[in-house]
Amino acid sequence: MKAISGAPARALAPAVEWITLACIAGCYAAWGGALFGLAAGFPALGWALAAIAIAFHSSLTHEVLHGHPFRSTFWSEMTMCLPLGLAVPYGRFRDLHLAHHRDANLTDPYDDPETNYLDPVVWARLPRWKRALFRVNNTLAGRILIGPALGQALFLQAEWRLARAGDRAVRRAWRLHLAGGAVVLAMVLLSPMPLWAYLAACYAALGLLRIRTFLEHQAHEKVRGRTVIIEDRGPLALLFLNNNLHVVHHMHPGVPWYRLPALYRAGKARFVAINDGYLYRSYGQVFRQYLFRAKDPVVHPLWRGR
């Protein structure tokens, strides 16, 4: 599958994408309302709204790293200066995700930063308890419940190695992240929401996001057959900013989220042919099929080594 550059789309885009900017403002308003409004009188509702706002903030971060809502990269990135989810620095999310968009490397256990597949050699060396964790993580329920902890542990391990090796980009991203995270935590401590509840909301947000990433990509001999379409138009599609139409996004990474459904409808037959029919009708179908059953093996089924 050949990714189409986002540059032409950005050149035709307005100076300000007001829909996305309104979503960003609404996200911060919902987050503030959860902490300083609902948390006092309705703590359960406040916690739930905080988790949803944090997950939505991650979806908006994804839009920003692809060049929205401003033509100016600086002003777009300034909208994401507060890391509401605390887990991943913006600079690292940006760099790793853009590396993931090298479609020729999709699902590669080494060169795709977002893959869940392991090299058979690595798998063979794992102790039984780690294999069990990875197997549970390959069900949708496992990905939601333990996926955030497992993913964050692996991410921090890799980041620590890079930082110790002197990677300046990684160190700079973490310095900025820690500064922004300190502001977020200060606001949480000033709010009626307990810190433990906020951290639990951050974890729940990561679990929500793993519903989207669970089967975004599959091992397939052809690059074009590795990226999914989920034809969902419900709340989760909105929460994920239509990234469920994932093959459309990978082919047109510069197109803003609100144009993806029309683009898909206009070329549905072509997109389904391109990704070799890797399609689900809704997230309901995904839950029914894979809540307690693995869709894929942990070991990359087509891996031939290097």
Q: What is the pLDDT of residue 5?
A: 39
Burial class (CB in 10 A: 0-12, 13-18, 19+), 216: buried
Biggest distance spanned by C-alpha atoms of the chain: 58
Task: Identify any residues that bridge with 297 across adjacent strands, giving them in sequence order.
Answer: none
Q: What is the pLDDT of residue 77?
A: 97
Low-confidence ranges of the chain (pLDDT < 50): 3-9, 11
Q: What is the pLDDT of residue 7?
A: 41
- Two tokens, residue 173: 């991203």
Rounded to two decimals, what is the model's pTM?
0.94
Q: What is the pLDDT of residue 304?
A: 80
